[in-house]
Structure 1
């Protein structure tokens, strides 16, 4: 919409009138009648019934229009014609809830709010003219709730008993009541007949607005169950209507893609914590950083802490109990396909001179995989040589981490929130608690994990063999979860005492510049966007069940079938493997084999495929066939 053009037209008129629904106000639902579907769900949930209120509401309005002598009916007359099987108190309750739901799902049209405020700023009188079964008083409540506060008066067709739609008679009446000439007034609305043609029929100037897209960029309901589609549509209409239009692209991806995931996980987590009657929950660094922010907003009365801990900081204290290098290696459940000796030394917090490495015919950049690492005699000899140093450090860290636990009141029944994945930290912590005989009874709540649930392990979505669709999804785009959950600080290496307080020793933050994009800024904006959605939507969906499928749907659509613009934005973002590596690798040569290798080795596999093929539909087919192959393999 050309807002500057509209502002110029406004400046040439004395009075500006606005339509309401789909003009100043948008509904966060797939269609206008979805209000009645939502009404049915809410009423039946409240009363414990299964009545077909949607059908009854539509029939009641049709009957009211047949029986009433006026051109337009009001909400009271509609409910007077409601299904006779409902008693009066039930009809009144349903009517009251309909008005409440309209207040809930109605939101300001951002572009038209700018126009409305422009009219206020240049002191143009504003009239509101609506064809609607709600009274002017009810319409005004909706407008005021959405910060439309400076209009002179609201005219509703149900109060005046005439409409804009038929011959523009409501316009004519407004002109008479306000003592205005048609040429003085510009009417702005979305309906080609009522707001444009009929306004012009009565001599007014008229501006027809473009309603735009109903749904945002990453909307696609394919793959959802039928009972999930209504809520998914509601969420995406909310996104389309409420996402700040002047924000940057990364913020918008955070809002639309990661916001629903954050909302779904937080609602699930709140239910889990309530069911287990936990009084303390600890969000493990670094994955818990943004999750903690959302949970604190959603459950302000539950004691929650951001807890500085990592696989490394828990594994370090238990190395003293290991009998071999192989035992040490097993503490880490996941290893990259290929890594350097420097990477191994860092994992075990070993500081060693090159002179010592040279003694064992090793260099920091020597490469291994997990199998070759375990059988390399040089590495085993090195670790045998420095094991007393490792054990001494391990014992010191065991004392410090135990002090940190008591300092932060990490004892008794505690909830632990983490990404999960291979559960390395869980297994290491369990081993440590057993060795030290500490009074900690942990319940784990993971965003996802490939390890099955049990009495103390709860998972929002299973990324193991049990649920193939999520395992396949993460095969193509796992690193985006890592990116989203990255905290703005380095990993916890261990603990130290500063001013009689145990503090974490943090590694340097990985993103300190030097790349083609500013990764730290990307993380900040992605999280800011997701948190913006969370804050604005959590009351909208307070009673709704946000299933895992719904929460992940936009993430799946973005990560599996990104646009070429998405790829341009994200391809050079570097992710943390054994080294910083861009999400999409560039081919070093023009050969077909080299292109295939660059795709296979790219952390963002689906993005790499689309960059090469320029075909999102092809990538969608690849994903489907790969899923079917894994499902029936």
Structure 2
């Protein structure tokens, strides 16, 4: 039997059935057939409804509960606290082995002297970061509404008065009784707390229904004592299982508090499903929350620190990229800072400054020729249909006085628009995303003075032929290792649901006619922006003025993992979208994330040296496809996390190997 086990063995975990044959591991995803139970119908059948607290009524925005200690360590720069706090709890449980539960005081009794002061800080942080479980709060309120008696039961070392304060803060009120293991020295884990509750309430166990997230303590043990139970999975577990990219990020650094907070907050996307919306809208809502939310929040958090440091009083967010940025910044900004959403498209700088040096000569010259053609009788007759940028540039130089007069009119027109904002000319910040020539900053500087303005950018692109050090600027992205693999993704996440702007007339934007790709992007963007803002509201509510450690490097890692590991669903919804790489937003339409759809160079295998028998194509993300006679799809291989999946005819999953 032992020899057979070495040759062939079977085991099962929560995700897979796994076989080992001659040392090679094979697996298939195991689908559990769970009976669907309506929790609201179950509640009606019981007189007393019992709720667990942590990960049921309340959520910590971390991947692991102990990451709260790591957060304290980073927040207060106290090296070693995370490890020592975990060891102190373990030591206390060993010391008070006869007790079913320990208290926070007992934990801090045995901790190193230099860490003792953090007991109160730990309590304070718990009070500030614990937030309501949205869906379970609805269940709680429903039980109250139909007249059920509510009890709250928790295995927790925190003092009762702290728990009560946290529950009140999160609007959990009108419950009948609170049972805490730290107060009673009895736990759900042992089952003795359930026995105590039944005796204390003097009721039949069947009249109680308990709801919680720990399968052993909240479900199995409750039922062991005759109490009906309902298991609700932790939202962080649901999120991690449904998003393999999260596991990839954690694999980079399991003790990165920024990663933990970012993913902990992203898990709130589990609440974003709207049954009344179609699948596509739900996809974009979640995409905006999980990827756009951390990206914009981290950038705006960096901006807040910078403008306070630079003594900035007024911020101009440049359209269209500044749309979601301003919404998020207005949530977290100091009250004294004024913000504006302002139009400053590149075309206006070309029209006013007639400055074509270093710029994309073709785009800028063409834009100026087309715009001014109908503004002057001579230009209307003589403006050439250019075949090259050089030809158009020569025509402008030959008629420079006409263009200068027209430019003066545009200058006055834009000046009237700027003056509407009543901007204080001292200490101004201008916010954009990516820039090479700082064009928007140059436009505003024409009217407010470049010495008064600091530009804030996600990234400042570099060009060896062009340096604009005369314009003050700072960038969120600094290191090579924190480069976004596809910049179009950032612009897609933040660009407003407006058409490209042609000009400003009568202090109002004039929009170009959107292409079919722009129309599609505009249609979905409000879903994305709405969830970006929601992410930031949750982040602020959880942390207030606490440092969250979601920085540029963490967000870049997160977005790059997305870019390099697309799912079929991602490709499905992104396939109809395009980004424009030209200033006019008319030509050069490319996929938003190009590598998802552009395959690497393939390899052909020939039969008898001339018949193309087999073709192999390799795609980004590790996907490989084989074609018989170069066009018949016969096999697709997908590498997902630690699994290799084989699909016959690119459709039927015939084999999964767990590596």
Q: TM-score, normalised by structure 2?
A: 0.74
- The Cα offsets for residues 587-633 of structure 1, whole Å up to 9 and x where unpaired, read as xxxxxxxxxxxxxx545312214799677334999xxxxxxxxxxxx
Q: How does 1:579-618 map to 2 (within 5 A)?
A: 602-609=591-598, 616-618=621-623
* Counterpart secondary structure, 2:311: coil
Name the residue aligned to 2:429.
415
Name the residue aligned to 1:219.
246
Query: Distance in 1 between the 2:586 and 2:398 partners?
Result: 33
* Counterpart secondary structure, 1:351: helix
Q: How many matched pairs? A: 556
- The Cα offsets for residues 289-308 of structure 1, whole Å up to 9 and x where unpaired, read as 22222222222321222233
Query: Distance in 2 between the 1:200 and 1:227 partners?
Result: 35
Q: How does 1:290-369 map to 2 (within 5 A)?
A: 290-299=324-333, 300-319=335-354, 328-330=355-357, 332-333=359-360, 345-346=369-370, 349-351=372-374, 362=385
Q: Displacement of 1:581 after TM fit?
A: 7.6
Distance 1:229 1:50, change over 3 A: closer
Name the residue aligned to 2:102.
73
Distance 1:41 1:329, change over 3 A: closer
Distance 1:582 1:572, change over 3 A: farther
2:542 pairs, out of 516, 520, 540, with 540
Q: Contact 2:429 / 2:455 at 8 angstroms: preserved in 1?
A: yes
Name the residue aligned to 2:411.
398
Q: Displacement of 1:259 after TM fit?
A: 1.0
Q: Displacement of 1:393 after TM fit?
A: 1.0
Name the residue aligned to 2:256.
229
Query: Distance in 2 between the 1:582 and 1:143 partners?
Result: 56
Q: How does 1:175-254 map to 2 (within 5 A)?
A: 175-211=198-234, 212-215=237-240, 217=243, 218-222=245-249, 226=253, 229-241=256-268, 244-247=271-274, 248-254=282-288
Q: Contact 1:410 / 1:440 at 8 angstroms: preserved in 2?
A: no
Q: Contact 2:131 / 2:542 at 8 angstroms: preserved in 1?
A: no
Name the residue aligned to 2:293.
259
Q: Displacement of 1:194 after TM fit?
A: 2.1
Name the residue aligned to 1:149.
173
Q: Contact 1:13 / 1:186 at 8 angstroms: preserved in 2?
A: yes
Query: Distance in 1 between the 2:587 and 2:251 partners?
Result: 32
Name the residue aligned to 2:495.
486
Quote the RMSD (CA, aligned, Å).
3.8
2:566 pairs with 1:562: yes
Q: Contact 1:418 / 1:447 at 8 angstroms: preserved in 2?
A: yes
Name the residue aligned to 2:511.
508
Comparing 403-412 and 251-260, the one that deviates more? 403-412
Query: Distance in 2 between the 1:187 and 1:565 partners?
Result: 37
- The Cα offsets for residues 75-124 of structure 1, whole Å up to 9 and x where unpaired, read as 233333433x35xxx73x42222122222332333333333233223222
Q: Contact 2:62 / 2:265 at 8 angstroms: preserved in 1?
A: yes
Name the residue aligned to 1:28.
61
Query: Distance in 1 between the 2:362 and 2:247 partners?
Result: 35
Q: Contact 2:577 / 2:592 at 8 angstroms: preserved in 1?
A: no
Query: Distance in 2 between the 1:453 and 1:558 partners?
Result: 33
Q: Displacement of 1:388 after TM fit?
A: 4.3
- The Cα offsets for residues 261-287 of structure 1, whole Å up to 9 and x where unpaired, read as 111111111122122222222222222
- The Cα offsets for residues 231-261 of structure 1, whole Å up to 9 and x where unpaired, read as 1122111220365332422121111101111
Name the residue aligned to 1:594.
none
Comparing 174-183 and 606-615, the one that deviates more? 606-615
The structure where helix makes up a greater share of residues is 1
Name the residue aligned to 1:15.
48
Q: Displacement of 1:373 after TM fit?
A: 2.3
- The Cα offsets for residues 567-588 of structure 1, whole Å up to 9 and x where unpaired, read as 22222124344576899x9xxx
- The Cα offsets for residues 172-197 of structure 1, whole Å up to 9 and x where unpaired, read as 11111111101212222233332233
Q: How does 1:38-53 map to 2 (within 5 A)?
A: 38-42=71-75, 44-45=76-77, 49-50=78-79, 52=81
Name the residue aligned to 1:111.
135
Name the residue aligned to 1:589.
none
Name the residue aligned to 2:120.
96
Q: Unpaired segments of 5 or more residues in structure 2?
A: 1-33, 275-281, 601-616, 625-637, 640-659
Query: Distance in 2 between the 1:6 and 1:187 partners?
Result: 11
Q: Displacement of 1:222 after TM fit?
A: 4.5
Comparing 483-492 and 220-229, the one that deviates more? 220-229
Q: Contact 2:195 / 2:225 at 8 angstroms: preserved in 1?
A: yes
Name the residue aligned to 2:528.
526
2:104 pairs with 1:62: no
Q: How does 1:370-519 map to 2 (within 5 A)?
A: 372-374=388-390, 376=391, 379=392, 382-383=395-396, 387-406=400-419, 408-409=422-423, 411-425=425-439, 428-429=442-443, 433=446, 438=449, 440-451=451-462, 456-462=472-478, 467=480, 470=483, 473-474=485-486, 478-491=487-500, 493-496=502-505, 503-504=507-508, 506-508=509-511, 510-511=513-514, 518-519=520-521
* Counterpart secondary structure, 1:155: strand
* Counterpart secondary structure, 1:572: coil
Q: Contact 2:503 / 2:511 at 8 angstroms: preserved in 1?
A: no
Q: Displacement of 1:422 after TM fit?
A: 1.4
Query: Distance in 2 between the 1:395 and 1:387 partners?
Result: 12
Query: Distance in 2 between the 1:173 and 1:438 partners?
Result: 74
The structure where strand makes up a greater share of residues is 2
Comparing 273-282 and 382-391, the one that deviates more? 382-391
